[in-house]
Amino acid sequence: MTGRLNSGQPYVLGLFRIVVGLLFACHGAASLFGVLGGMNGATVEAGTWPGWYAAVIQLVGGSLVLLGLGTRAAALVSSGSMAYAYFHVHQPGALWPIQNGGEASAMFCWTMLLLVFTGSGAFGLDRLFAARGERAEEAQPERATVAA
């Protein structure tokens, strides 16, 4: 049973990454554009600290994670953004996330941190480009080194 589960791990991780990236990008889109029912149609004013910058990180980082393009770097920046959101916005209100409304920030922080260490899994553009690069290296003939 463990062997079967392990063989599906890259695919489940890829689906996990896609769902997390989509949800994170939607959160940013809702803040920036007032779409998807977020913020009751209101938007974050452009350039305001930290809300607008956080929303841009959410939209861009979430989109990159969704596509599996630069997953580790995008997830690291996104995780840091959510850690900042939790500790500077939510945590001063109360100790526990359920009390201070920081559940989403805490969950996104830890989820993105997990993706930093696991990578994109299956279905990611990272893997596609890596495979393409390996084929290009294999297609080139070996060159002998010349000693002077």
Give the pLDDT confidence score for residue 136 in this predicted structure: 63
Q: What is the rounded CA–CA span in Å between residue 77 and residue 116?
A: 10
pLDDT tens per residue across all 148 residues of the chain: 888 888 999 999 999 999 999 999 999 999 999 888 776 767 888 888 888 999 999 999 999 999 999 999 999 999 999 999 999 999 999 989 999 999 999 999 999 999 999 999 888 998 877 777 766 666 665 555 555 5
pTM to 2 decimal places = 0.83
The C-alpha atoms of residue 53 and residue 83 are separated, in whole angstroms, by 14
Q: What is the pLDDT at residue 63?
A: 97
- Rounded (10°) angle between helices 103-118 and 71-84: 150
Q: What is the pLDDT of residue 45?
A: 83
Locate tokens 């850690």: which residue?
A: 83
